[in-house]
Amino acid sequence: MGAPVPDLERWIEEGRQTVIDIADMLGAPSAAYTRDPLTLIPALQNYVSRLPLGQFEQSDWATLHSDLMSYVSDFLIQRYDARWLVVNDSTTPRGYRYVIEVEDRDDGNRTIDPSDVVMAEFANLPIEITRMLSRAELTLRLTPQISAGARQKE
């Protein structure tokens, strides 16, 4: 049996539907979310802050990972006109990964695996939605980084 063939369109549709379902579940109007993905942050932060992470089983972590990955991706797509791509990756069992590509502030194209962004957030509990989005933006060079000198003045 050969490696599975990536179905990018299905991946895109499922990810978008996941984040719309999350917005609905949290009582955030999907029309407001569709206009501005930042409108979901308060409800999503409240939700993840109340989760009993210490009691999570592996399947719970996988579901939360998928949900947050969908949000990060959709945020980048809506806010920065990012797009999903399939890239070969021999380190994964299926032989490829889905990544987000966007044009950065320097007019170059950058990619990020939203899965990595979420995993980095899981390694730095508690989960902070704005920190997770900021990490993605900084990694993709969509926002300027604060220099060490500017940080010291604050």
Determine the pLDDT at residue 154. 44
Question: Residue 84 pairs with which residues in a beta bridge?
Answer: 100
* CB-based contact 64:56 (threshold 8 Å): yes
Q: Is 24 strand, coil or helix?
A: helix
Instruction: Give the start-end residues of each E strand in the chain.
Output: 83-88, 96-103, 109-112
Q: What is the rounded distance in angstroms from the CA atom of residue 83 to the CA atom of residue 103?
A: 10
**Dihedral pair phi/psi, residue 128, rounded to 5°:** -120, 110
What's the chain's average pLDDT?
Answer: 89
Q: pLDDT tens digits for the chain (154 residues)?
A: 455 678 899 999 999 999 999 999 999 988 899 899 999 999 999 999 999 999 999 999 999 999 999 999 999 999 999 999 999 999 988 889 999 999 877 778 999 999 999 999 999 999 999 999 999 999 998 876 655 444 444 4
Query: Which strands make up the sheet holding 96-103, listed edge to edge?
Result: 83-88, 96-103, 109-112
